[in-house]
């Protein structure tokens, strides 16, 4: 029997509480850099990214901030800015060769501005550059990318290579009630995605595959505080099945494989990859009125969704709208009134038939775009094309 509806559970994942960024500080940092006041430019850049922290004199003492499981240290040595975070400490009984091979192949690459380094038995991610060459926008990118890379890999390496992580920030465990709810959300999500995959194969539609792929990854990212091994496995698969430029057959087969793997994960394994982390830097991109308009406004994508509704294809219209709402919530931070509006829209249609979901999310999208959006923006992506007749893909 075809799936009749979807549930949109309240998220367990806590939204990061970070102060709004003062863009005037970023602009001032750029002006100071252009005026060759490099040290003050660095202070202003750090103040822009880390408004809740006191910025010391980095010539005299280093600074450490927490980003997920990564402890990031920054200091100034003469005229060089040094940024580092320790990933792992190799043990004598650990498969050091395999671990080092992973670091060299996965965490380093030609042209990458930060690289893994082996210091005695410790492996760190490091970045160093003269402050004369360190434009504020470059420093901002490093302060966001380097800890994100460390946070995404350290827990996976513990299990894979049996290594120690002595300088890793602990992740707060979920309480029993949260764990029970998380297990239910996880199980129900993958059951629903598995059933929707049957519909995807029947329709042979790239639009449906695009929307289902986005929903599959972003619903979990939004609702559950995933980290560690399970998050790494999901993200690895999602990199392939959400790639709209990728081969459709490969995307579908990867999604099918991911669904099977995720459904096999039991409560104990899931528990080991759930926890509440702290973030000094907002881990989400800041949402904007133009983004709301481009996704929920009257662009070509919404026009096509409207045509799907009008032609009675409520399931397809619903999945595309659901994917857009979860994309906005999973990847962006919003002012409280906007986040509430997005969340309320999902709450109002949770568990309802596809027609009601499509109509409800469509109506609320127009309201949100009109009240909180801007005008004159283009769609985020061009609409995907349907498969030509007879051009089927098999997983």
Rounded to an integer, what distance in angstroms lies between the CA atom of residue 264 and that of residue 276? 23
> Among positive and negative, which fits the CA dihedral 29, 30, 32, 37?
positive
pLDDT of residue 192 exceeding 50, the answer is: yes
Average pLDDT, rounded, for the chain: 87
Task: Look at residue 240 and tell me whether its pLDDT is greater than 70.
Answer: yes
In Å, how far from its chain's centre is CA 321? Answer: 19
Count CA atoms closer than 13 A to 369's CA, side-chain side.
Answer: 23
Q: Chain centroid to CA 176: how far?
A: 26
Produce one character per residue of 349-377: b if its CB has 16 or more CB atoms within 10 Å, e if not.
beebebeebbbbbbebbbebbeebbeeeb
Q: Strand (E) positions, the chain?
A: 63-67, 70-77, 80-89, 115-119, 122-130, 285-286, 332-333
pLDDT band at 393 (very low <50, low <70, confident <90, very high): very low
CB 342 within 8 A of CB 325: yes
Q: What percent of the chain has pLDDT over 90?
A: 62
Q: What values do phi and psi take at 374, rounded to 5? A: -120, -170
Token digits of residue 86: 């320790």
* More confident: 151 or 348: 348
> Does position 72 have pLDDT exceeding 60, yes or no?
yes
pLDDT of 232 higher than 90: no
The candidate with the shortest Cα–Cα distance to 121, out of 84, 88, 83, is 88
In this prediction, residues 188-204 reach a mean pLDDT of 94
For the chain, state the CA radius of gyration: 23
Name the band, by pLDDT with cuts 50, 70 and 90, for residue 69: confident
Mean pLDDT confidence for 289-318: 90
Q: What is the pLDDT of residue 139?
A: 95
Question: Which among 373, 191, 209 has a CA at the least distance from the CA of 296?
Answer: 373
pLDDT at 386 over 70: no
For residues 315-341, give the mean pLDDT: 95
* pLDDT (0 to 100) of residue 380: 40
Q: Which residue has the tokens 């764990």?
A: 179
Output the pTM of the full model: 0.86
Asked whether residue 242 carries a pLDDT value surpassing 90, the answer given is yes
Taking Cα atoms as reference points, which of 63, 65, 28 lies closest to residue 44?
A: 28
Half-sphere exposure of residue 276: CA atoms within 13 angstroms, side-chain side:
14
Q: What are phi and psi of 44, to 5 degrees?
A: -65, -35
- β-bridge partners, 229: none
Q: What residues does 64 pair with on adjacent strands?
A: 73
Instruction: Please give the residue that has the higher pLDDT: either 384 or 79.
Output: 79
pLDDT value, residue 104: 65
CB 164 within 8 Å of CB 91: yes
Residue 39 host element (H or E): helix 38-49
pLDDT at 1: 43
Whole-angstrom distance, CA of residue 35 vs CA of residue 30: 9
The answer, yes or no, to whether residue 10 has pLDDT greater than 50, is: yes
Residue 195 exposed, middle or buried by CB count within 10 Å (0-12, 13-18, 19+) = middle
Question: What is the C-alpha separation between 22 and 282, in angstroms, rounded?
Answer: 13
- Sequence-separated (6 or more) residues with CB below 8 Å from residue 50: 65, 280, 281
Q: Look at 69-78, 117-126, 135-144, 190-199 and tell me which has the smallest mean pLDDT.
A: 117-126
Considering only CA atoms, which of 286, 285, 284, 296 is closest in space to residue 374? 296
- Among 86-100, 143-157, 241-255, 377-391, which stretch is predicted with the lowest mean pLDDT? 377-391
Q: Which residues pair with 122 in a beta bridge?
A: 89, 119
Q: Evaluate if residue 99 carries a pLDDT over 60.
A: yes
Mean pLDDT of 369-395: 49
Residues 375-395, mean pLDDT to the nearest whole number: 36
Say whether pLDDT at 376 is over 70.
no
Q: How far is CA 357 from CA 110, 285, 312, 360, in A?
A: 47, 27, 13, 5
Lowest mean pLDDT among 89-98, 147-156, 328-337: 89-98
Domains along the sequence of the chain with CATH: 56-161 (3.30.1460.10), 176-372 (no CATH)
Both tokens of residue 68?
Answer: 């997920």
The dihedral built from the CA positions of residue 239, 225, 137 and 19, taken in this order, carries a sign that is positive
pLDDT, tens digit (0-9, with 9 covering 90-100), for 38-54: 999 999 999 999 988 89
Beta-bridged to residue 279, according to DSSP, are 67
Is residue 276 within 8 A of residue 225, CB to CB? The reply is yes
d(CA 328, CA 292): 8
Q: How confident is the model at residue 300 (pLDDT cuts 50, 70, 90)?
A: confident
Q: Average pLDDT in the 279-296 region?
A: 91
pLDDT at residue 325 is higher than 60: yes
| DSSP for residue 390 | T
From the list 129, 159, 150, the residue with the least C-alpha distance to 33 is 129
């Amino acid at each position: 029997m075809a799936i009749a509806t979807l549930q949109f559970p309240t998220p367990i994942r806590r939204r990061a509480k970070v102060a709004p960024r003062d863009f005037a500080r970023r602009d001032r940092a750029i002006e100071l850099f252009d005026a060759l006041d490099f040290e003050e430019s660095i202070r202003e850049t750090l103040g822009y990214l880390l408004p809740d922290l006191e910025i010391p004199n980095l010539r005299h003492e280093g600074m450490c901030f927490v980003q997920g499981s990564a402890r990031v240290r920054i200091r100034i040595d003469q005229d060089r800015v040094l940024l580092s975070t320790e990933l792992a400490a190799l043990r004598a009984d650990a498969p050091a060769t395999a671990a080092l091979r992973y670091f060299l192949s996965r965490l380093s690459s030609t042209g990458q501005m930060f690289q893994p380094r082996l210091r005695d038995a410790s492996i760190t991610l490091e970045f160093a550059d003269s402050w004369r060459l360190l434009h504020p926008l470059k420093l901002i990118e490093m302060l966001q990318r380097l800890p994100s890379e460390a946070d995404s890999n350290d827990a996976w390496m513990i299990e894979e290579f049996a290594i120690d992580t002595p300088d890793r920030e602990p992740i707060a465990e979920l309480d029993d009630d949260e764990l029970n709810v998380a297990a239910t959300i996880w199980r129900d999500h993958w059951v629903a995605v598995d059933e929707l995959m049957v519909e995807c194969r029947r329709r042979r539609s790239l639009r449906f595959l695009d929307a289902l792929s986005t929903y599959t990854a972003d619903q979990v990212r939004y609702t559950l505080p995933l980290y560690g091994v399970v998050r790494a496995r999901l993200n690895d698969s999602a990199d392939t099945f959400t790639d709209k430029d990728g081969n459709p057959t490969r995307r579908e087969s990867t999604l099918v494989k991911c669904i099977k793997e995720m459904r096999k994960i039991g409560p104990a394994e899931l528990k080991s990859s759930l926890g509440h982390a702290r973030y000094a830097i907002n881990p989400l991109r800041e949402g904007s009125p133009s983004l709301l308009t481009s996704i929920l406004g009257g662009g070509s994508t919404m026009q096509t969704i409207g045509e799907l509704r009008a032609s009675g294809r409520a399931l397809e219209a619903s999945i595309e709208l659901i994917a857009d709402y979860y994309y906005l919530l999973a990847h962006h931070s919003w002012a409280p009134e906007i986040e509430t509006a997005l969340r309320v829209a999902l709450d109002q249609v949770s568990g309802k038939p596809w027609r009601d979901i499509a109509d409800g999310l469509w109506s609320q999208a127009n309201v949100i775009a009109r009240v909180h959006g801007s005008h004159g923006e283009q769609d985020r992506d061009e609409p995907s094309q349907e498969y030509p007749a007879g051009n089927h893909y098999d997983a």
